[in-house]
Structure 1
């Protein structure tokens, strides 16, 4: 892939495509499920966060520094819309819940400096809500298995707070918030979040401790751990099988795959490079796509590794 760095990876099982965004003015790279490059999406140059529509078919991309979210039809690979999120609401992370595209923005390192917004592509409306829990634009997670639920977490903070929201009304209504100060091994420097296939929990990949931390969405208390090496940097859940993949950074790059609730990995995969910074599954859980980089993702070209789980 002709990218100068790495930001995000998503998979569209409906069309068997993988999309990878880079850094700076990089376009979005497109591969098939075998890892073969199909081409690039120049219209999405400068894209950071990516998300795929709940039914798949539309790729959403947050375009850096423009306050815009672009949409591409994954069947034709043509841009179909550009949505303005409002001045100063530069989207940094994305998640799709039903027909809505949720995004996080802002953050100055001060409590209350960030917010969560929602784009309704059909109605062409955008609403934003300041969120006092978050210092920076929070990481986001959603899943078809947890309808009307959004999870947000304070990345790059030690300890990191994770909060679940009911978004059925079009506004983020808090459900539960984690208390890392009350945990013996709290999440520090949160990197990614993924909701489990049963829709009951979220798994956090934190730089420390050296395990994936599973929290109940209803209470945000830890109910399982998935041990890894240092340092957990990425996580993804297979919608069909429920398998949980956790990637680590700090050479060598490696990915552990777990069955839900089982702390012993069913498979471990090692790669060259410094870290596994991005993970995505196909719908069934038979293929896992892992993005590795030879040094930090902001400054080195990514490699897409295809792992056959069957």
Structure 2
């Protein structure tokens, strides 16, 4: 369920418009959200392929990868992927890498054919858990015996082989990993499931792990039981989801010092950053929320998706679709939620006209397009007219929207009598959702 939020300005504009003239129509566009139960026994990771419009969801217990389209429809289930855990896509989205936690290997899957093409062992008794691309290599967090570590796989070489790489610290568990295209040589590793939590930042440019920063979060902020983290699109900050505190903390990548937070109610467990910098946060006891780049309040949208899973958020590249995974905690099946336009502002479109007008007289129709942030110069709305002569509708024209007020207007001189319905459509842009609104006028003699 999506919880709609509109700014006071937008609400005021809509109210003023509705009082000005009779026969006004107001619509706030909301793209359709879908929820699809998946044929999975468990959940560990989710990634989105923007080239083939596919969503990959790993199922460790079932040893499979569930593949869906952007609508959430299952297109294939890739089986015999033992202990499928962490996922990572190559830069061109041609290859999906899968950490096979119970097979001690990393699988390579062709995203066009959805078949496994290679399998690379990660070392004796190792259990690879988490994956990330950095410095032209695939990095994996693994456990071996009672401790964890970080390894790499040079996927660009003719004969890739896994290497266990010294990281300069002791890991109790397999480190979670994250990176960012803004600084492709940086790798961030995190200690999950312990108190206090630890983050370490490495430079991978030389092929090894050169530590830039490391911090045990005992205070300012105190962070414990880390669940998820992501690097912001500008490569400057890390957004952290942990059981404590009850906020998504922001720390600087340069020195891991505190840099603010996103408000949450309790048990933050997921975070994802879109390519344009829009941030999505999720918590066990809170809504999934989205935020404009660089802003921590107010949220763009709030979604009431119950039982969000740890690491259960992912954006579609160069899109505004957000995907969320719920289920398991209350005995329900794992479910994929498709949340379109999650990174866009809601748009309100008002069309206003008198209830009646006379045949052969000028009829002026006005409208207003509004949102929490202004529309770009050159914004237009398209208007169609439906009447007895044109029951299927006919174009009236495309009209410019004032960048200062959001208003538009046009005048017609109806030639017949009866009801005329005007439909105004705004197609949306990279920041604003599409919107459609109608108003009906009765034309008399």
Distance 2:333 2:88 in 1: 21
Larger Rg computed on CA atoms? 2
Which residue of the other structure, out of 242, 246, 250, is the alignment partner of 1:210? 246
- State how 1:160-175 maps to structure 2 within 5 Å: 160-175=197-212
In structure 2, stretches of 5+ residues that fail to align are 1-37, 345-445
The CA deviation at 1:244 is 0.8
Partners of 1:161 and 1:179 within 8 A in 2: yes
In the comparison of the two structures, how many residue pairs are matched? 300
- State how 1:1-310 maps to structure 2 within 5 Å: 1-106=38-143, 113-123=147-157, 124-131=160-167, 132-183=169-220, 185-239=221-275, 241-250=276-285, 254-264=287-297, 265-272=299-306, 274-277=307-310, 278-295=312-329, 301-309=333-341, 310=344
The CA deviation at 1:208 is 1.3
Give the TM-score taking structure 1 as reference length.
0.91
Structure 1 stretch displaced more, 37-46 or 80-89: 37-46
Partners of 1:243 and 1:285 within 8 A in 2: no
Query: Larger relative contact order (C-alpha < 8 A, sep ≥ 6)?
Result: 2
Partners of 1:53 and 1:99 within 8 A in 2: no
Structure 1 stretch displaced more, 96-105 or 2-11: 96-105
Give the TM-score taking structure 2 as reference length.
0.64
SS in 1 for 2:238: strand
Q: CA RMSD in A?
A: 1.8
In structure 1, stretches of 5+ residues that fail to align are none
Distance 2:308 2:88 in 1: 22
- Give CA deviations for 1:221-275 in whole Å, capped at 9, x if unaligned: 1112111121110111001x2111111114xx63111123322222110123x22
The CA deviation at 1:128 is 1.1
Distance 1:57 1:242 in 2: 24
Partners of 1:100 and 1:118 within 8 A in 2: yes
